[in-house]
Amino acid sequence: MTKGIVLLAAGGTGGHLFPAEALAHELKARGFSVHLVTDRRAERYAGSFPADKIHTVSSATIGSKNPVAVVKAFLSLWRGYREARSLVSRLKPKAVIGFGGYPTVPPVFAAAGLGVPTAVHEQNAVMGRANKLLASRVRAIAGGFLSPGGDHAAKMVLTGNPVRPAVIAAAAQPYVPSNADETFNLVVFGGSQGAQFFSDAIPGAIRLMPDALRARLVVTQQARPEDRQKVIDSYATLGIRADVAPFFTDMSDRLASAHLVICRSGASTVSELAVIGRPSLLVPYPHALDHDQAANAAALAAQGGAQVIPQAQLSTDRIASLLTEAMEGPDRLATMAAAAKSTGKPDAAGLLADLVEAIAAGRGIAQSKGATQ
């Protein structure tokens, strides 16, 4: 017999689903049944998400300035609201927790209207548009990097960003610097939107590096399906050992083995780098609507755990120089790794689960606030 159902709502990208997955593991360990409501983009994660059942509802992003597109988006969200209201009425969850993305809006809004305890978790340093829409409706706002002030300070709890059990396991592997003549593991990824730049820039930069350094490199790189063969061919021409794919199911292990990570600075990425403790070159995605990635990156860089460089400043020559400096400075990378790890919050899933239990039991958020301050 379970303690009841907790319904998690998240957009269908890794940035929203990964922290939801971490909370799902923690809640199930505490005796809850977990259901997920999302959109069809989440299908590739379905096999790994620990939900007793996964539901989809209609949703749409309100991003276009075209009046017809805006009307269609609102109609889709209205359909999603009606679907979500029926779902919540049938499941009778103890709480509904949103993780951002527009698929979050219908179920959290419906649950709040039905009197079900609700909360949202904001992974980024800047609150996303969906969570902004919901902030006044929910009972609590959990934050990964959010500033504790602002309009909703009374209901805000800083939990950090939950990371998956695989990340916690990877964090047990200490950082071991790569010294001269030793293999240097480089991990490169850009998320669903940001990988294209790296597909051209990283192989081009490695081509400019000294032969002796190139010979040490082993590369793991995420690339879009349409770019994958081009990247593979580039590395083959250079004689680089490389594993290139659109998605890696074992990314936590690859991060744990990395000597340097070059990537975007989504909230889940920054949180996982911090928990595992790996040095990184962060390149905020320049087209992020709220510039949230730049703010996320700044939080880690401020502690010395990462170097942040805007994409506009990264020529192939500059990247080649940065990689050369990194490979020739193992002590500096080890210092960055330690600094990154000092900022990690491996207990974030537990703190968020405490908050969920508190609002589900009607206790409010005072105890959760005390646990995180």
**What is the rounded CA–CA span in Å between residue 209 and residue 18?**
35
Pairing of strands 53-56, 33-38: parallel
| Residue among 103, 110, 109 nearest 87 (CA) | 110
- Does 228 count as an annotated binding residue? no
- Does 124 count as an annotated binding residue? yes
107 with 57: CB under 8 angstroms?
yes
Phi, psi dihedral angles at 102 (to 5 degrees): -65, -25
- Does 2 count as an annotated binding residue? no
32 with 361: CB under 8 angstroms?
no
Of 17-26, 58-67, 189-198, 329-338, the range with the highest mean pLDDT is 329-338
Helix (H/G/I), strand (E/B), else coil: 131? helix
- Render 10-76 in DSSP notation, one character per residue: --SSHHHHHHHHHHHHHHHHTT-EEEEEE-GGGGGGTTT---SEEEE----------HHHHHHHHHH
Helix (H/G/I), strand (E/B), else coil: 324? helix
Q: What's the pLDDT band for 45 if we cut at 50, 70, 90? A: low
- Does 265 count as an annotated binding residue? no
- 368 or 142, higher pLDDT: 142
| Residue among 18, 60, 53 nearest 36 (CA) | 53
- Does 293 count as an annotated binding residue? yes
- Does 13 count as an annotated binding residue? yes
Mean pLDDT for the stretch of residues 62-85: 82
- Render 73-119 in DSSP notation, one character per residue: HHHHHHHHHHHHHHHHHHH--SEEEE-SSGGGHHHHHHHHHTT--EE
- Does 14 count as an annotated binding residue? yes
As given in the structure block, the two tokens for residue 289 are: 């609507």
Quick: pLDDT tens for 300-315: 999 999 999 999 999 9
**What is the rounded CA–CA span in Å between residue 146 and residue 17?**
18
Q: How far is CA 25 from CA 6, 28, 116, 213, 251, in A?
A: 12, 5, 22, 41, 18
pTM summary value? 0.84
Location of structure tokens 């991060």 = 255
Quick: pLDDT tens for 183-237: 999 999 987 667 889 999 999 999 999 999 999 999 999 999 999 999 999 999 9
Cβ-proximal residues to 229 (8 Å cutoff; 6+ apart), any chain:
none
